[in-house]
Structure 1
Amino acid sequence: MTYRILIVDDNEDILEFLSQVLGDTYKLYLAENGEAAQKILDTEVVDLIISDIMMPGIDGFELCRLVKTNVEYCHIPVVLLTVKNTYQSHIEGLEVGADLYIQKPFSPELLLVQIANLLANRLKIKAHFASSPFEDVRVMAHSKTDEAFLKKLDDYIRKNLKDPNLNIDQLAEHMNMSRPTFYRKIKSLSALSPKELIDVTRLKKATKLIAQNEFSMFEIAKMVGYGSQSLFNKNFQRYFNVPPQEYISSLGKDKKE
């Protein structure tokens, strides 16, 4: 997987320098100001933003604030670059939601390591959510805006779990987004497609029903929207790396221990 980074700086030399540092590892989009950056965000899938703070028009602080309060791309980590080295500027960077604050001049090697760590940690969180039966969807939120978005979405999916035809169009409409925008948002947040997110939510509910020990596996599959027992079993093993029957046995062992 090649991550996509948006670099925003009004200095052409800095854009060229960062392109040389990052170009061999990442797919890059370049913008000379905040307005141009917004246009790229509206049309491209971006995994991380690197922005200078001091720019005419929309500066780095304002761009970061706009990103972190817009539900369509508030999940994107933002790295702010600055020549300022004051407590006030650091505080302001944190207040607008910056994920990293790096002072110029900086070591290219240090920047590469910090970016790689930031992206790797996001990926670990996504993988943990998908493979952990009891993990809440909001574990993937990186801002209050994301948290509210995910709760609204999760509530709707859970309310309609019994509907085997629940699909991306219904979810996008409920979240007041176009289908492409909604797809990009979910894919970026969770590394799952909307269909996979629905499946994971169905299966997480199934694990709770299994633990209650009140229903047959066939009944549980139907209660979470699966018309096919074999598909339920297949998806359960795909996401949780264990077949349902083995999962039931593991619950019995845990109680004995």
Structure 2
Amino acid sequence: MLPLILIVDDNEEILEFLERILNNKYTILKAEDGKQALKILETEAVQLVISDVMMPEMDGFELCKNIKSHFEHSHIPVILLTAKNTIQSKIEGLELGADAYIDKPFSKEHLLAQIASLLANRNMIREFFASSPLVHIKSIAHYKSDERFLETLNDTICANMEDADLAVEKLAKIMNMSRITLYRKIKAISVLTPVEVINITRLKKAAELLAAGDHKIYEIADLVGFSSQSNFARNFQKQFNITPTEYMHSKQLKKTKI
């Protein structure tokens, strides 16, 4: 699926121009002001917002402020476009949490490069987290609010790790959130489903225990909620491209060298 981008501008010609240059690489949604944009964000899993600053009803600054202060949307990158190319206006936009600020008239190539960079950087960080046994999930957060959420999520999964039936419904109830809200937030930040995040968190805890060397592999499999050692070993190797035994030996070897 192509990344979903929301473009916001009260000028219909600009909306059409932006859609024309972006629709080969991205799925596009359009809004004519900040209020319309926020309604779209309530129902669509938008991955990036491009907004004009000067608009009626709700301008780009207010829209950016709303996005960055709203729990469900704070992870979404925002690019502000504006003819107000003063240093003060740029500072205002960045202080409100904008990820990039581009002056009008803008270069098509510059805009495309900025979008690609924001999305690619996030994907690289997510892939590094998923493939690295000891990297904490909060490493994929770009904002403090998301970091706090991911820390709480990780702590909650770890506290209930021995429950082999832990799933999104149970996790949402423990975190006092609706299932839909939890699913959307996890999916938006990590591109993973809650089930995948639970599984990776189990495996990362297992990696921590393997590195410590205080438990047998079958004991670790049980401690992190897997039904059998063989099931655990298959999942571990699939996720990190190394078997639990190989991983444990590599960590112990490093300790003996030290």
Sort the TM-score into its range (normalised by shorter chain): over 0.9
1:93 aligns with 2:93: yes
Quote the offset at 1:130 in angstroms.
0.8
* TM-score, length-scaled by structure 2: 0.96
Tell me the residue number matched to 1:54.
54
Residue segments in structure 2 that go unaligned for 5+ positions in a row: none
Q: How many angstroms apart in 1 are the aligned matches of 2:100 and 2:186?
A: 23
SS in 1 for 2:50: strand
Tell me the residue number matched to 1:8.
8
- Asked if the contact 2:156/2:175 (under 8 Å) is kept, the reply is no
* TM-score, length-scaled by structure 1: 0.96
SS in 2 for 1:51: strand
Relative distance call for 1:174 and 1:61 in structure 2 (3 A) is farther
Q: How many angstroms apart in 2 are the aligned matches of 1:59 and 1:17?
A: 20
Q: How many angstroms apart in 2 are the aligned matches of 1:153 and 1:168?
A: 11
Q: How many angstroms apart in 1 are the aligned matches of 2:93 and 2:171?
A: 34
Tell me the residue number matched to 2:223.
223
Q: How many angstroms apart in 2 are the aligned matches of 1:19 and 1:190?
A: 26
- Asked if the contact 2:3/2:26 (under 8 Å) is kept, the reply is yes
Q: How many angstroms apart in 1 are the aligned matches of 2:55 and 2:175?
A: 34
Tell me the residue number matched to 1:44.
44
Residue segments in structure 1 that go unaligned for 5+ positions in a row: none
Q: How many angstroms apart in 1 are the aligned matches of 2:154 and 2:132?
A: 16
Q: How many angstroms apart in 2 are the aligned matches of 1:91 and 1:201?
A: 38
Quote the offset at 1:255 in angstroms.
2.8
Q: How many angstroms apart in 2 are the aligned matches of 1:83 and 1:176?
A: 43
Instruction: Read off the aligned partner of 2:220 and give its amino acid letter.
Output: I
Quote the offset at 1:216 in angstroms.
0.7
Equivalent residue pairs, number: 257
Q: How many angstroms apart in 2 are the aligned matches of 1:135 and 1:43?
A: 32
- Asked if the contact 2:211/2:247 (under 8 Å) is kept, the reply is no
Quote the offset at 1:231 in angstroms.
1.5
Q: How many angstroms apart in 2 are the aligned matches of 1:247 and 1:93?
A: 46
Tell me the residue number matched to 2:65.
65
Tell me the residue number matched to 2:234.
234
Tell me the residue number matched to 2:191.
191
- Asked if the contact 2:53/2:61 (under 8 Å) is kept, the reply is yes
Which stretches of structure 1, 4 residues or longer, exceed 4 Å deviation after superposition? none
1:76-91 equivalences in 2 (<5 Å):
76-91=76-91
Tell me the residue number matched to 2:254.
254
- Asked if the contact 1:70/1:145 (under 8 Å) is kept, the reply is no
Deviation digits for residues 2-50 of structure 1, max 9, x if unmatched? 1000001111011011011101110000000111111110111111000
Deviation digits for residues 164-197 of structure 1, max 9, x if unmatched? 1111012222344332232122112112110110
Tell me the residue number matched to 1:128.
128
Instruction: Read off the aligned partner of 2:138 and give its amino acid letter.
Output: R
Instruction: Read off the aligned partner of 1:233 and give its amino acid letter.
Output: A
Tell me the residue number matched to 1:139.
139
Quote the offset at 1:252 in angstroms.
3.0
Q: How many angstroms apart in 2 are the aligned matches of 1:181 and 1:62?
A: 23
Quote the offset at 1:71 in angstroms.
1.1
SS in 2 for 1:6: strand
- Asked if the contact 1:68/1:96 (under 8 Å) is kept, the reply is yes
Quote the offset at 1:256 in angstroms.
4.2
Q: How many angstroms apart in 2 are the aligned matches of 1:53 and 1:174?
A: 40
Quote the offset at 1:253 in angstroms.
3.1
Tell me the residue number matched to 1:167.
167
Q: How many angstroms apart in 2 are the aligned matches of 1:247 and 1:230?
A: 15
